[in-house]
Structure 1
Amino acid sequence: MKRCLILMLPLALAACAKPPEGEPATPPAAVAPAATQPAPADTTALSAYHWRLNDAKDASGKRIEALFVSADKPLQLDFADGRISVSNACNHMGGAYSVEGDKLKFDRLASTLMACTDPKLMALDQEIGKRLETVSTFALQSGDAPTLTLTGGNGDVLTFKGDPTAETRYGGKGETAFLEVAAQTKPCNHPLIPNMQCLQVRELEYDDKGIKTGTDGEFQNFYSAIEGYTHEPGIRNVVRVKRYAIKNPPADGSSLAYVLDMVVESETVAP
């Protein structure tokens, strides 16, 4: 984060000629310092990374344990198009945000209404929600280890580590596609991977109202991976993905990358 240094400009002093004898000297008029405004923060990095909670301390320096429920799935913030998305709590949360100088303000967050069996995970929604729904001072550090630090009015300090988004890694916005993944994989040939099992995938089409259109094609061997997707044998899924062109792909690799956006439909299929 770039901090604005307020500089007190010295008064410009005009050369004073000696006043005529008997005439009082007129003091130079005071020059008001130029008004300054905080420099706008560079918020480009906010949307360039997934921000995963790495540390959280209260005003006394004590770790806020209530914010750390799952070590392998830390709380994650994502910023895009003026909105924040909070994941890896019990429910998915989201809302609008705004930036003014070094202040980050979140509107009241909306949430899904799923119940979780783990009481700590259930409480996590409220713990992160009450800390985000206040005005926070933020600091961004880019480079090899990007960091986002939020400091609340109550003295809580939340530190997040940045992981590049797919748009950042692949250099542009992806194309949205819907894929149906069959319940079972099948053997497929690969020059470098013996005994390879391939997902069986076909692309689906939907209109702007979410109604499926066209005729379903045949399932095909899918030699790529879908980032973020783990296949369970016996489960048929329809997934929404972002598809990206890979610049300079390896000779034996795909020219396209697929990143899971969401699972639209799941069904257990009898063997």
Structure 2
Amino acid sequence: MKRFVMLALPLALVACAKAPAPPEAATPPAAPTSVVAAPAEPVSAIDATLLGSQHWRLEKAVDAKGQAIEALFARADKPLQLDFRDGRVSVSNACNRMGGGYTLTGDRLQVARMAATLMACTDPKLMALDQAIGKRLEAAQTVALRNDGQSQLTLTSADGEVLTFRGEATAETRYGGPGETAFLEVAAQAKPCSHPLIPNKQCLQVRELHYDDHGLKTGTPGQWQPLYEDIEGYEHTDGVRNVVRVKRYTIKNPPADGSSIAYVLDMVVESENVATSKK
């Protein structure tokens, strides 16, 4: 306290003293040099191309105290995934598929009220996952993007929560184009097929289907044939017949002994347990 009084007292005396009038011929004192604050760095717009070129998978989520937000990791095998495309963000690997429009202003992300499918999940933690991610995305977030060999997206909320996502290039990015949409019926049983590199290869049996704009089947299905390539993202179960919507890409520089076509799962349209249905 003594130190405070000693410092404050001279200032008070100076303030009370009457300043002498300057001589008429005296040069006016130079104005004191003011300290000008450096201008803030401008906020650069987020690279929308990079944002849309990746699947963003949740890697880490912490609150303002640095504690892990466990509610966002209900599926250890399939982390939450964000995809940004055509002004919309979609969420997968929750209980339901979710999506909504978004806007980017500088480094600020604002997601509109999200819509979701209406599936019910038996695991209560998985059911709660929809609300846990939905309420966070619908709140304004500050966005940071990094692309130094490994793409990373960081969302920071006003209350200090930080969600970190790791990027994985989309099929469009990897294959250099939007691809062609096709519908394949996948038979319930795979069959042995001749493959130059894989002995005892089991190939999916597929035929192409066609649908109109109303989702109704049209025309005649194609012929059944073995599919020597895997469908990326598709897991087949023996005894289950599926109709899948896929993206078909042309591989620009395929290996000499590899296919020039790549198939990537878009969604499962129809599924039937053939073994059960025949009982």
Band the TM-score falls in, shorter-chain normalisation: 0.7 to 0.9
Match of 1:186 in 2: 191
Does 2:75 correspond to 1:70?
A: yes
Match of 2:240 in 1: 235
Assess, with a 3 A threshold, how the Cα gap between structure 1 residues 62 and 37 changes in structure 2: closer, same or farther: closer
- Measured in 2, the distance between the counterparts of 1:131 and 1:149 equals 13
Match of 1:96 in 2: 101
What is the aligned residue count? Answer: 244
2:50 match: secondary structure:
helix
- Measured in 2, the distance between the counterparts of 1:74 and 1:40 equals 27
Does 2:177 correspond to 1:172?
A: yes
CA deviations over 1:105-153 (Å, ceiling 9, x no partner): 1001111111111111111111111111111001000131110000001
Match of 1:84 in 2: 89
Q: Which one-letter code corresponds to 2:51 in the other structure? A: L
- Measured in 2, the distance between the counterparts of 1:234 and 1:62 equals 44
| Superposed displacement of residue 41, structure 1 | 2.5
CA deviations over 1:175-218 (Å, ceiling 9, x no partner): 00000111111111122222211111111111222221111232
Assess, with a 3 A threshold, how the Cα gap between structure 1 residues 77 and 242 changes in structure 2: closer, same or farther: same
Match of 2:215 in 1: 210
Match of 1:46 in 2: 51
Match of 1:128 in 2: 133
CA deviations over 1:76-115 (Å, ceiling 9, x no partner): 1000000000011111110000000110110011111111
CA deviations over 1:212-233 (Å, ceiling 9, x no partner): 1111232101101100001111
| Superposed displacement of residue 172, structure 1 | 1.0
- Report which stretch shifted further, 186-195 or 139-148: 186-195
Q: Which one-letter code corresponds to 1:135 in the other structure? A: A
Assess, with a 3 A threshold, how the Cα gap between structure 1 residues 196 and 39 changes in structure 2: closer, same or farther: closer
Match of 2:113 in 1: 108
Select the residue among 162, 165, 170 that pairs with 1:160.
165
| Superposed displacement of residue 40, structure 1 | 2.4
1:3-18 counterparts in 2 under 5 A? Answer: none
Does 2:153 correspond to 1:148?
A: yes
Asked if 1 retains the 8 angstrom alpha-carbon contact of 2:109 and 2:141, the reply is yes
Asked if 1 retains the 8 angstrom alpha-carbon contact of 2:208 and 2:223, the reply is no
1:123 match: secondary structure:
helix
CA RMSD in angstroms comes to 2.2
- Measured in 2, the distance between the counterparts of 1:38 and 1:200 equals 53
Does 2:117 correspond to 1:119?
A: no
- Measured in 1, the distance between the counterparts of 2:191 and 2:52 equals 38
- Report which stretch shifted further, 41-50 or 133-142: 41-50
Name the % identity: 68
1:137 match: secondary structure:
strand
- Measured in 2, the distance between the counterparts of 1:41 and 1:249 equals 34
- Measured in 1, the distance between the counterparts of 2:70 and 2:198 equals 44
| Superposed displacement of residue 54, structure 1 | 0.6
- Measured in 1, the distance between the counterparts of 2:70 and 2:44 equals 35
2:210 match: secondary structure:
strand
| Superposed displacement of residue 38, structure 1 | 4.3
In structure 2, stretches of 5+ residues that fail to align are: 1-24, 32-38
Structure (1/2) with the larger helix percentage: 2
In structure 1, stretches of 5+ residues that fail to align are: 1-20, 28-33
TM-score, with length taken from structure 2: 0.82
Higher alpha-carbon Rg: 2
| Superposed displacement of residue 37, structure 1 | 6.7
